[in-house]
Structure 1
Amino acid sequence: MARTLQDQLLNMGLANKGQAKKAKDTKRKQTKLRKSGIKTEDPDTNVQSDIERQRQEKQERDRLLNQQREEDKARKAGLAEALQLIQQHSSAPPRDGSMAYNFVHNRVIKTLQLDRSLHNQLSRGQIAIVVLEPGYGLIADDIAARIEAHAPQRVIRIKPEDKPDEDDPYADYQIPDDLMW
């Protein structure tokens, strides 16, 4: 029973003659190249390198996916912290304010009725406007900066007015805050 493995596979029906011939030709070519001194690629080496490459690609995809998940988690935590700060530190503007304060939100001019002290604080940048669900509120500038780090769309900060130039001939004439055009 000195039959070759190829003969045994053919008899059992696990391989056909075309596959046997192809395997024999491939083996003959490799031995011929080996005898001539040309280095041949081992099919097992190709499979191993493909498996290694696929494993590295999967590790890279997994690493990027984990990084994206962590960034999403951090963003959600930042938004939750911003909402908590807004709920704890914001105050509604007074309903009976004597002065109108105009500001721009989403390219639309909005108006808050404020009393004189809040109007002055807002003009100087000591407090900021925060966007609440039903309207707007006021919040301290340092808290607004913390909220703005996580949710900049929820804070409207007013920049304090710049000091006039020394050479300005109208520096002595201040424009009143309540001047309506």
Structure 2
Amino acid sequence: MAGSLQDQLLKSGLANKKQAKQANEHKRKKAKQKKAGTAVDDKQAQQAALEAARQEKAAHDRELNLQRQQEQAQKAALAEARQLIEAHRLRLPQKAETRYNFAHGSTIHHLYLDQKLIDQLARGQLRIAFMDASYHLVPAEIVDRVEKRQPDMILPRPVDDTPDADDPYADFAIPDDLMW
């Protein structure tokens, strides 16, 4: 009993050649459909993967463009602030003898100014700007425009340390030679 089932059925007379041919044809068609179905599924999977990769690349490109635009905006704002300071800064007097001390960060710095400039600083008509490792005096009208672009270039105004009017100890000054 060697041979295929089809051969055995033909020999025993349970099936004829026409039925065997139809069975072979049906089997071949099923295999072809199955193969075509996996090919369609593979194509769909490839197209889906390509579309996902395309969308991911587009999102990445949008993110890079946004970063570039932000960097360009920062550079433009810095350039505008620099230009404003350079165009409107006041020249420091050459022969000023009064040393004006101010705090920048945690260190004390100084500029030699005349009394007129010191008075303007005290009234808030001038402010100190820090640019290129140097300090410049800038009019208050320009300070607002610079602070909108680069707030860290303008030093904050000094805090007024005069006592409050309702301070109960305002009349009692602390002596300079007080030892604890």
TM over 0.5: yes
The residue type paired with residue 145 of structure 1 is D
Aligned Cα RMSD in Å? 3.1
Sort the Cα spacing of 1:142 and 1:160 in 2 relative to 1 into closer, same or farther, 3 A.
Answer: farther
2:65 is aligned to: 66
1:79 is aligned to: 78
Question: Does the 8 A contact of 2:100 with 2:110 survive in 1?
Answer: yes
Q: What SS class does the counterpart of residue 164 from structure 2 fall into?
A: coil
**Unaligned stretches of 5+ residues in structure 1:** 1-26, 35-40, 175-181
2:44, 2:147 → 1: CA distance?
A: 56
2:100 is aligned to: 101
TM-score w.r.t. the length of structure 1 is 0.63
2:153 is aligned to: 154
Sort the Cα spacing of 1:134 and 1:53 in 2 relative to 1 into closer, same or farther, 3 A.
Answer: closer
C-alpha displacement of 1:67: 1.0
2:169, 2:91 → 1: CA distance?
A: 37
1:120 is aligned to: 119
Q: What SS class does the counterpart of residue 136 from structure 2 fall into?
A: strand
Identical aligned residues as a percent: 41
The residue type paired with residue 76 of structure 1 is K
The residue type paired with residue 101 of structure 2 is N
Q: Per-residue CA shift, 1:134-167, capped at 9, x if unaligned?
A: 7322101231232233333432232452664231
Sort the Cα spacing of 1:118 and 1:153 in 2 relative to 1 into closer, same or farther, 3 A.
Answer: same
C-alpha displacement of 1:50: 0.6
Question: Does the 8 A contact of 1:92 with 1:136 survive in 2?
Answer: no
The residue type paired with residue 60 of structure 1 is A
The residue type paired with residue 101 of structure 1 is Y
Question: Does the 8 A contact of 1:82 with 1:147 survive in 2?
Answer: yes
Runs of 4+ in 1 over 3 A off after TM superposition: 132-135, 169-174
2:71, 2:120 → 1: CA distance?
A: 36
Sort the Cα spacing of 1:101 and 1:57 in 2 relative to 1 into closer, same or farther, 3 A.
Answer: same
C-alpha displacement of 1:55: 0.8
Q: How many residues are aligned here?
A: 141
Q: Per-residue CA shift, 1:116-139, capped at 9, x if unaligned?
A: 232122223331112244732210
1:57 is aligned to: 56
2:107, 2:52 → 1: CA distance?
A: 55
